[in-house]
A and B are shown apart, each in its own frame.
Chain A
Amino acid sequence: MNHRPLAPAGLALIASALVALGLIVVLPLAMVFHEAFRQGAGAYLAALSEPDAWSAMRLTLLVAAISVPLNAVFGLAAAWAIAKFEFPGRSLLVTMIDLPFSISPVVSGLVWVLLFGVNGWFGPLLQELGVRVIFNVTGVVLATVLVTLPFVARELIPLMEQQGADEEIAAITLGAGPWTTFFRVTLPNVKWGLLYGVLLCNARAMGEFGAVSVVSGHIRGLTNTMPLHVEILYNEYDFVGAFAVATVLAGLALVTLILKSALEWRHAGELAATRRH
């Protein structure tokens, strides 16, 4: 980190960056809090203690708790295969992992309907078995998993590529077992990267709206996640309620992100060391 004294040019740059960030990111956030507290803290707390708001929060946490670990395991496996080995089709695989970023959320929801809807590929089969996949929690999880698929992998692949495979090769050569090598060498080396990936994946999982909206069925108190509940309240002209729930989401995201930032700073030295390998 550079501690060069601030020249006027530097100050101007900082100021313009802050203004840009303020107009684009901070102002909407401030608006959300402003609207939520428009009628005072009492109305705010009342809106949050509503049972439907609670069930939306529970569902959102449940969905995140299922989808994030799945994508974390996927991310670790993908990064291990891609960063430590060279094989044909490797670049194609990387592109595939990136691609969910570029799919419209509406489409990310629609594809599950095309697969598991009554008129979808597996619709008749599922109906025969009496199993429902969409318009319940499973559907919400599937949509969330698809939308957040790349986050952990995208974080770990470049990190593991930079680190190379020397340490693991040394461990194996010295007689360590594969799992010992993974848990004692690889995992400690990527733990921060993994954590950031998981935190971001989690933030996105909790905030996803478009894809989830297509497959949820919008049943109040049952399949409404927090973002969907925000929409419902907004459509009921309950603006305080809508923005109150939104502040919880924004708050969860902010705490997550500040935690990540703090970790990054605290372990900056350690991080730099692992990256220099």
Chain B
Amino acid sequence: MSLAPSPPFTGRPRRAWRKDSVLPGFPLALGITLTWLSLIFLLPLSALLLRPWELGLSGFWTVVTDPRVLAALRISFGAAALAATINAGLGLLIAWVLSRYTFPGRRVVDALVDLPFALPTAVAGIALTAIYAPNGPLGAPLAELGIRIAYTPLGIVLALIFVGLPFVVRTVQPVLEDLDREVEEAARTLGATPRQTAWRVVLPALAPALLTGVGLAFARAAGEYGSVIFIAGNMPLRSEIAPLLIVIKLEQFDYAGAASVGLAMLALSFTGLLLLNTLQGVLARRGRA
């Protein structure tokens, strides 16, 4: 999937303006979009947004500032941030290799990148646990070295790297492919070392796309449940993730409490995405200037 960032509107001349466009179909297209979005997303979302207020503001606040909930949010978002950062590096590497080199089996490798989008998360979680458990094919040698991955916070990060990887690769790859090679070559001709070219020329051009990819990977990972519960160990305060707390609250028929945690997660994801989008906009403007 090309998850290329939508360009922000910063004075770029548009070919068609709403007011004077000769193109038809705007009301129909916008109508379909808004209707579908309202039915499938906004209506359910409002149920989530309004439910916690049964508890009142103070009730909501008590739920989300409970030490268990705070710890779980810290674990979910901390592990997601760490995984997204690691994915920034890995994703960039993989996208670079896929767009800059030809080697046998490249198409298959390219297709494999999307696999985490498609494999059921529970299956991924079970498979990762089997591999990295202390008696698993990789877990056993690692355990010899004193490294435990499954049933520790490290396991959470591993599962989240799996879940988020394609977001980064698929955002960066198209930009990397489009990037004018002449600019790179010009830099080289002007005496820049490959490293300088990479840091000074390529990376700045990639930064907006990379940030979008990292943002999406982060947001997706923060809410991940299926793959994480198998590998996390689920110990309160240590490896218990926020979506698990939602499930726990639901088990007690505490719908308002569950919705409160859901709302807190949504707010945090949204803030994270907004920060990254703002940063990306700044970088994009600077890139054009």
Contacts and interface: CB of A to CB of B under 8 A. Distances in A.
B6 A161 contact: yes
Given A114-B255, A115-B43, A172-B24, A227 B123 contact: yes
Contact of B22 (A13, A169, A206): A169
Contacts of B113: 21, 25
Interface in B77-97: 90, 93-94, 96-97
Tell me if A's interface is mostly helix, strand, loop or mixed.
helix
Interface stretch (A45-53, A75-83, A124-132, A216-224): A75-83
A204 B7 contact: no
A14 B100 CA distance: 10
Interface in A208-240: 208-210, 226-227, 230-231, 234
Contact of A20 (B90, B120, B266): B90
Contacts of A182: 25
B115 A25 contact: yes
A3 to B, nearest CB: 6
Given A84-B16, A210-B121, A101 B33 contact: no
A178 B24 contact: yes
Interface string A129-160: 00000000000001001100101001101110
B128 to A, nearest CB: 5
A13 B97 contact: yes
B226 A110 contact: no
Contact of A27 (B42, B51, B138): B138
Contact of A1 (B33, B42, B102): B102
A98 B42 CA distance: 13
Nearest to A70: B36
Interface string A167-190: 011001100001001100000000
B288 interface: no
A262 B107 CA distance: 7
Interface in A15-39: 16-18, 20-21, 23-29, 31-32, 35
Interface residues of B, number: 101
Interface string B14-45: 11111001111110111111001100111111
Contacts of A44: none
B162 A249 contact: no
A254 interface: yes
Interface stretch (B57-65, B199-207, B232-240, B257-265): B257-265
A115 B269 CA distance: 23
B123 A230 contact: yes
A87 B30 CA distance: 10
B97 A254 contact: no
Contacts of B90: 20, 24
Given A16-B93, A21-B94, A3 B102 contact: yes
B284 interface: no
Contact of A121 (B47, B117, B161): B47
Interface string A90-110: 110111111111111111101
Given A102-B269, A105-B226, A207-B120, A13 B165 contact: no
B208 interface: no
A111 B138 contact: no
A61 interface: no
- Rank and list the top 3 A-B pairs by shortest CB-CB distance, nearest first: A104-B223, A102-B219, A253-B118
Interface of B: 1-9, 14-18, 21-26, 28-33, 36-37, 40-45, 47-48, 51, 90, 93-94, 96-98, 100-103, 107-124, 126-128, 130-131, 138, 158, 161-162, 165, 178, 181, 194, 216, 219-220, 222-226, 242-243, 246-247, 250, 255, 258-259, 262, 265-266, 269-270, 273, 277
21 contacts: A1-B102, A13-B101, A23-B138, A29-B119, A31-B127, A81-B29, A84-B21, A101-B216, A102-B220, A104-B224, A106-B223, A106-B246, A106-B247, A107-B246, A112-B44, A142-B40, A146-B41, A149-B40, A165-B16, A210-B243, A261-B107
Given A77-B31, A200-B1, A207-B117, 20 more contacts: A24-B161, A25-B116, A31-B127, A77-B29, A93-B33, A104-B222, A105-B224, A105-B243, A107-B262, A149-B40, A164-B16, A169-B21, A172-B24, A200-B117, A246-B123, A250-B118, A250-B119, A256-B118, A261-B108, A261-B111
